[in-house]
């Protein structure tokens, strides 16, 4: 089969890790007889440097015309990078938010699970880890606080800033449906996270999620307040299957969940619209402190490419092969520095990519 894939290397370690993911995709093409036509898309700081803005219409059009988008990471060091001297709407992150909106990527899936091979990297005590954990956070990605009206004003000499958090029932319903569909293929439990003891948007969220749940009688629904959820993630992570939540809560909880696994360099993510189209990126950021050093872990991006094969291109056995190759390399004891432990063999970004490609 022939597919068109947009590649967004982005900033920081982005170009290095996307380079390795492309190596893997090329190997998949060779082995399974596919053709992937790549087109590079600028986003974030790279786009600011080349075009003066973090996202251009041309970039949106290219992404839209492809079957899927694979991204590295965007953004730089807020203290030192000139990108952060620009007004907020022209900074790298604004480009990421804008492309999510332009492509209608309302469903962000962020799996967080404990790798058996990497148990030692998990910061939790053994009795808390128990039999391990395997959850997926389903984060609403194009609504809520990050997209509401905002402004900063001065009233009677006092500075004041306003952000608005809005959700309508359609936005809640479509993300809830995604969460239930995913739970249906997993352990059949949805934990919907909100702040319904305070926020109107959360009270509507809860009602709509309950309406959706009525169509999925086999799935257990529970509601959890976000502050409690933050605690439960470190107290008893094994209780979660699918966590369904709004944009900002999902942003925060997904960072917490990935850190709890001890291997943030391993976790992939997908951002999907109503069709098969999606943007795939690692759950971690651009790590400007280690950019260009050849030591970044490319596995999260490689696993994101596997998710892309599965969800957007329907290439299940190819996705399985990539995931199995990653597992194999870990079993053989190869580690990048972020997941290194005693007795293992430390390798750099490129070697890790080569090792995985060889095993496909």
| Separation between Cα atoms, residue 248 and residue 172, nearest integer Å | 14
Cα separation, 262 vs 319, whole angstroms: 24
As a whole number of angstroms, the distance between CA 107 and CA 139 comes to 6
Per CB under 6 A, 213 contacts ligand IPM: no
What is the phi/psi pair of residue 112, to 5°? -135, 110
In sign, the C-alpha dihedral spanning 164, 169, 173, 174 is negative
Q: Active site includes 251?
A: yes
Q: How far is the CB of 145 from Mg ion (least distance, A)?
A: 13
- Among 5, 28, 41, 96, indicate the residue that binds ligand IPM (CB under 6 A): 96
Residue 241 binds Mg ion, judged by CB under 5 A: no
The number of beta carbons lying within 10 Å of the beta carbon of residue 321 is: 20
Interaction between residue 267 and ligand IPM (CB under 6 A): no
Angle between helices 316-331 and 299-311 (to 10 degrees): 160
Cα–Cα distance list, 64 to 34, 51, 206, 290 (Å): 21, 19, 33, 31
Residue nearest to ligand IPM as judged by C-beta position: 93
Q: Is 77 a catalytic residue?
A: no
CA distances from 164 to 19, 111, 158 (A): 39, 28, 20
Least Å distance between CB 217 and ligand IPM? 33
31 catalytic, yes or no? no
| Cβ distance to Mg ion smaller for residue 251 or 338 | 251
If the CB atoms of residues 97 and 259 are measured against ligand IPM, the closer one turns out to be 97
**What would the x/- binding string for Mg ion be over residues 248 to 287, using CB under 5 A?**
---x------------------------------------
* Interface residue list for ligand IPM (CB under 6 A): 75, 93, 96-97, 251
* Interface residue list for Mg ion (CB under 5 A): 251
Which residues are designated catalytic? 146, 195, 227, 251, 255
């Amino acid at each position: 089969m022939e597919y068109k894939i947009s590649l967004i290397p982005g900033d920081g370690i982005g170009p290095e890790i996307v380079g390795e993911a492309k190596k893997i995709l090329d190997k998949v093409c060779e082995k399974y007889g596919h053709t992937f036509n790549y087109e590079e898309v600028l986003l974030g700081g790279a786009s600011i440097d080349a075009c003066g803005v973090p996202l251009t219409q041309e970039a949106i059009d290219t992404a839209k015309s492809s079957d899927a988008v694979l991204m590295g990471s965007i953004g730089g060091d807020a203290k030192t990078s000139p990108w952060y001297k620009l007004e907020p709407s022209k900074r790298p992150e604004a480009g990421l938010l804008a492309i999510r909106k332009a492509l209608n990527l309302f469903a962000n899936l962020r799996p967080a699970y404990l790798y058996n091979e990497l148990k030692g990297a998990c910061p939790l005590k053994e009795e808390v880890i128990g039999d391990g954990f395997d959850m997926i956070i389903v984060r609403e990605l194009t609504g809520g606080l990050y997209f509401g009206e905002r402004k900063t004003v001065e009233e009677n000499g006092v500075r004041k800033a306003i952000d608005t958090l809005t959700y309508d029932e359609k936005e809640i319903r479509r993300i809830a449906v995604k969460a239930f569909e995913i739970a249906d293929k997993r352990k059949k439990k949805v934990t919907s996270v909100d702040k319904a003891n305070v926020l109107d948007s959360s009270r509507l969220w809860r009602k709509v999620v309950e309406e959706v749940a009525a169509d999925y009688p086999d799935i257990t629904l529970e509601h959890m307040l976000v502050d409690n959820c933050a605690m439960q993630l470190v107290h008893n992570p094994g209780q979660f299957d699918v966590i369904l939540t709004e944009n900002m809560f999902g942003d925060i909880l997904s960072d917490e969940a990935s850190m709890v696994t001890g291997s943030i360099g391993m976790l992939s993510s997908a951002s999907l619209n109503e069709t098969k189209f999606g943007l795939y990126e690692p759950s971690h950021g651009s790590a400007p402190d280690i950019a260009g050093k050849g030591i970044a872990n490319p596995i999260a991006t490689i696993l994101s490419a596997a998710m892309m094969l599965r969800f957007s291109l329907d290439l299940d056995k190819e996705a399985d092969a990539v995931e199995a190759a990653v597992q194999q390399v870990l079993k053989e004891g190869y580690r990048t520095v972020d997941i290194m432990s005693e007795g293992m063999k430390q390798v750099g970004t490129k070697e890790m990519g080569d090792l995985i490609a060889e095993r496909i």
